[in-house]
Structure formats: structure tokens, C-alpha cells
Structure 1
């Protein structure tokens, strides 16, 4: 573990290793999302209560999973940056934030669309919905803090602290359906419990979740590579790289 952390101190190493990983994640994302979406939208059976309106689950659930996972990842990166001063961790956290905000918005919007035929309304101040809305504002806060300081180090520290404090909202999102009376359905997937849908429904959903995560990793690697080149533009290895690509 310590050897890996020491390697992360080198933006050059991260740039090189990510170059080898990036094509694999792009291919995985494209293949998984294509298979999962076609299977889920065209071949999975309709829900016995909701009919075909339930198919929005194949976007809503992966986006919701990813929105929460990205914020946890940002908090971990923030901790690594604050403790070990690893610049790459801060770059990764900065590059993840807009994607996390986008996934949270997609989750909220798709949930609102789903709520019309299911609950008869676009929005309710339900515990799960409200905590997801708070997550969206936390993402916006992290993004805003990174542009609110003249000093990059001050901006990074402020954003890291907000991510580490705001991560307490993640278990609230997860367990809100258990702690309070809520219209939102229980968790679709559980580690210890039984999946609450037929296999021909949850298998394409699982494929979509894996596809969304592959897409997230690919986008994060790509954006972090660009950020490394921007921040390290005065380093010799970047100048040599730019010279070799001409």
C-alpha cells in the first residue's frame, strides 16, 4: 500500500499508467452500457405494477449509485491530499466533482420523471429525495470552493474539508428509507439480502451499473491526464512529451 501511495506522488507515473488503462475502460463502458440498455429497455419484462415506466430504473439507479460513490471517492482523495500532500489525489478529486454533480442531477431528474406515474407528482420532500438534493448542493459547493480562492492550495484544502465533512450525508441517503417513513422504495441491491426483482430485470441493471462505473473511471482518468499536463506544464517531462507529439 505504501509503495502505491509513494508512486501516486508522481504525476508522471499516473499519466503513464492511466494511458494504458484508459482504452480498456472506454471499451468496457461502451460495451456494458450498450448491452445493458438494449437488454433492459427492449427485452426485460415489464413490471407487473408499473408497466414499462419502471425501465427508467436502468438510468436512475446507476446514476444514483455513482453519485454517492463519487462523493465518497472525493472524500478519500481529500484525506489523502490533506495527510500526504499527494497532488494527484487532489487533481482526481477536482476532476470527479463535475461528473458527480451531473450524475446527481440525472438521478434527481430521472427520479422526478419516474415519480409522476408512480407517485402522481414530480417532487416530494421525501427523506431520500431531500438527502440526494443536499448531495447535489454539496457537489456545487465543492466545485465553487475550487474557484473561490486565488491560491490553489487554499482552494484544494477547502474543497477537501467540505468533501470529508459532507460525506456524512452518504449513509443518510442509504439508510433514509429505513430510518424514516418514506415513499421511496427500499434498496434495489443489497449485499446480504435478496434482490427484490426477477433475474431478467436485475442482470441488465447490474450490467448498466458496471457500465456507468467504467464510464466514470474512463472520464476521470482522461480529465486527470489533462489536468496533470496543465499543472505540470513547466516540468521537463511534459515539455519532452509535447515535443515528441509534434
Structure 2
């Protein structure tokens, strides 16, 4: 029974059908959360006593940084599943997650630079957290480039998958870099469950934006997966029926 469920879950046809039903809801909820989070962050949350209104960059920087790491984990796990069990849909998920994660990493670095200029008086420092996040961007770009370097998609899937699995070691380095090294980057805030280091109104806005960004990225990844399914399965009869509609 478990293997039947697993086989169905790994079916490109089943994914294409079920994702078509889920996507409008995921995208709609993400847009509602974006609206609520931006309103809360821009109008209902207080300014920081040291940073002033500059602190509002946090409501985009933190969610995109969080998404950049989460989607690399998704990429690496999907690549591992595809590599070990040769599941085509897993490779499609990895290939679809990479551009989304790369975009979030770029946004995290860009907003971090905008936030760092007035606080640190510089756009960039070779801080442990910033440097490891930059390496994450190179890992994403390396995965995309390596996958596209092969004409045979299956060979590209496996070669890029190895890079993705090796690169997963960078995720704990990003997360714990503030604790392991002397760094300018601030430490944990919302992860301190017993007493988060921020005003409750700021915390609500930040959580709304985190969920909004994650759902939005999930929707974009699913859209890309649907296109990947149609491209790779173009010879299947069910795809011809869908395209012919």
C-alpha cells in the first residue's frame, strides 16, 4: 500500500493534475499574506530605536534569506531522491527549485546590502554569514549551469544532483555562522521561542511575510515543475491531450 502511494506521488501525470487544483489556492493565500504582512510591517509595527525606519527592510530580507536556505534543502533532497531511486519527478523538482532559490538568495544579498549601508556604513563586508550566503548563490548558479551543460537531461540531472548534495553542507554553516565566528551580523531573533528578541507587532509582520514568501516561492516552483513535466513528457499521450486542449 505504501509503495502504491509512493508510486502515485512520483507520477508526473498525477502531479500535473493535482498541482493544477492546488496552485490557485497557494497563490491566492500567499497574496493575502503579502497584503497583511506589508500593511502590518509598514504601518502597524514600530520603528527601531537605533535603526529607525531602516529596520523595515527586515520584512523582505529575513523571509528571502529563510527561503534561500529552505529551497536549497528542497533542491538537495529532491536531487538525492532522484539520484538514489531514479524518480524523474524528483529531478524535475530539483531543476525547478534552483532558479527560485537563486532569486531568493540574490534578493537576500541585495536587501542585506541596502540594510547594511546605513547600519555598518558599507554595502558589503566579508562577514561569515554574508560570505556563506554568497557561496549559496554560487551553488545555485553552479547547479543550473552544470545541468544545462549536458544535452542528455538524465546525465545533467545526475551530475547537477551530486553538486547539490555536496553543497548541502553550506546550509548549517549559514545558519550557525553567527554563533561559530565573530560576525557583524545579528544573532537569532524569532528562533528564540522562549522570548523572541523583537516587539510583538514586528514579530507578527515578519511571520506573515515569511509564510507569504514561502508560499509564493512554492507556487512559482510548482508552475516551473508543470512546464518541466510537459517538456519532458511531451511524447506521452496524456500530454498531447493537454496541449491539444
- Structure 1 CA distance, aligned partners of 2:108 and 2:197? 20
- Structure 2 CA distance, aligned partners of 1:5 and 1:105? 34
Q: How does 1:107-126 map to 2 (within 5 A)?
A: 107-126=108-127
* Distance change in 2, residues 1:4/1:170 (3 Å): farther
How far did residue 144 of structure 1 move? 0.3
Aligned to 2:183: 182
Is the 1:8–1:86 contact (alpha carbons within 8 Å) kept by the matching residues of 2? no
Report the count of equivalent residues: 244
* Residues 54-101 of structure 1: per-residue CA shift (max 9 Å, x gap): 000000000000000000000100111011111111111101101111
Aligned to 2:27: 26
TM-score, normalised with respect to structure 1 = 0.96
* Residues 20-49 of structure 1: per-residue CA shift (max 9 Å, x gap): 110110101110011101210122110111
TM-score, normalised with respect to structure 2 = 0.97
- Structure 2 CA distance, aligned partners of 1:5 and 1:167? 25
Aligned to 2:16: 15
Aligned to 1:148: 149
Aligned to 1:204: 205
Q: SS where residue 146 of structure 2 aligns?
A: helix
How far did residue 242 of structure 1 move? 2.3
- Structure 1 CA distance, aligned partners of 2:194 and 2:154? 44
Q: SS where residue 62 of structure 2 aligns?
A: helix
- Give structure 2 stretches of 5+ with no counterpart: none
Aligned to 1:82: 83
Q: SS where residue 48 of structure 2 aligns?
A: coil
- Give structure 1 stretches of 5+ with no counterpart: none
- Structure 2 CA distance, aligned partners of 1:3 and 1:204? 42
**Aligned-pair Cα RMSD in Å:** 1.1
Q: SS where residue 219 of structure 1 aligns?
A: helix
* Distance change in 2, residues 1:192/1:39 (3 Å): closer
* Residues 139-173 of structure 1: per-residue CA shift (max 9 Å, x gap): 01000011111211111001111111101000000
- Structure 2 CA distance, aligned partners of 1:117 and 1:4? 53
